[in-house]
Amino acid sequence: MNEIYQENMKNNLLQEALKESLHSWLLQKIAEGGKGPNVLDEGGQGILHFAAALGYNWALEPTIVAGVSVDFRDVNGWTALHWAAFFGRELIIGSLIALDASPGTLTDPNPNFPSGSTPSDLAYANGYKGIASYLSEYALRAHVYLLSLNEKNAETSLAAVETAPIPSSSALTDSLTAVRNASQATARIHQVFRAQSFQKKQMKEFGDRKLGMSEECALSMLAPKTHKQGRVHSDDSVQAAAIRIQNKFRGYKGRKDYLITRQRIIKIQALVRGYQVRKNYRKIIWSVGILEKVILRWRRKGAGLHGFKSDALVTKMQDGTEKEEDDDFFKQGRKQTEERLEKALARVKSMVQYAEARDQYRRLLNVVNDIQESKVEKALANSEEATCFDDDLIDIEALLGDDDTLMMPMSSTWNI
């Protein structure tokens, strides 16, 4: 018992010495200017990364107050949350989450994670399944917040997805609530992705018809149409009408007649289009082509059209190539994001199967709730102290208003 007491005393003294050294170092770096405390050592880590890896919770707040970002990266792209998740520091993770650390930040690519790793990936790789599940769920909810179209929708979406924990609930209930929150968040994210893809297609078609219009204007014109279409498709009467039409053509005879009629209509449309091309468009294109050849041969002084490329055609081809590259990059990024979303959802669902993971998730949830409650209580206490201080202030203007009664005797004494 005596040895344990001595060990605790040594740890407390060491912690106090480290606190003093940290505070003096932070003050020195702030006084020097430049990058300040946002520096890395020879190994490529900063003071915030060491504090998160070693579990020094007391070092987080003064370091962040000194100007170090909570998402400050080391030489490998790791943040403090990555280091805390890698070593399973539950208290540090709760403190960083309360300080608005980003749970979906990716590290630099490496052989184990070619597309980068999130804090949840590092925690899961080291066996901390409860921490990985909590970070995955929190990352999904944060993604819903970021993908919202405006602040009002963002707050509504996050409030709709996030569910407060029940104080008397068990670890299994909390894990099931986490699965529900993660599933709802994933569904909302996919819904936003589909809406964005639809708007992008509509904007592309609209841009082909109306050249010279900005993206903001096109999106503003397309957004009400998309919203209106969503209302139409969600209407019960429209769904009922669609079901009746499907039932009508579900029989053999009705379906056969419908297919025959449809095939005839397609043939008629093809004949009409072919007739228009043969009789009208081909003549116009042929005449314009002859005129262009004559003018170009005259302008090029008889050199002919060998090796000639129109500037407009070249510019159009370059623009088309750039658009295709942007679309490919967008699709690749969307695919990687969807894979990460599915992985995060599967990770949250797998937590229900392991009792240890459920207990760890519940502990981390309680840590975050306690930290947030303590911050609210501290803010309320500070506001009450400020109110009491304002009440205790002397009304100087009221006193100065009585200067006629107070200053007259003094002036008489000075005159004497």
The secondary structure of residue 103, as a DSSP letter, is T
Instruction: Please say whether the beta carbons of 348 and 138 come within 8 A.
Output: no
What pLDDT, on the 0 to 100 scale, is given for residue 357?
87
**pLDDT averaged over every residue in the chain:** 75
Confidence of residue 415 (pLDDT cuts 50, 70, 90): very low
Q: What is the pLDDT of residues 183-230, one digit of tens each?
A: 888 888 877 777 777 777 777 766 655 444 444 554 555 555 444 444
pTM across the whole model? 0.61
What pLDDT, on the 0 to 100 scale, is given for residue 161?
45
Structure tokens at 57: 């919770």
Q: 312 vs 190, 315, 318, 319, CA distance in Å?
A: 39, 5, 10, 10
Q: What is the pLDDT of residues 364-412, one digit of tens each?
A: 888 888 888 888 888 777 776 666 655 555 454 554 455 554 444 444 4
Q: 357 vs 52, 250, 274, CA distance in Å?
A: 21, 50, 67
Give the domains, in start order, of the chain with CATH numbers: 2-224+331-369 (1.25.40.20)
Mean pLDDT is highest, among 133-142, 184-193, 308-317, for: 133-142
In which element (H, E) is residue 182 found? helix 171-209
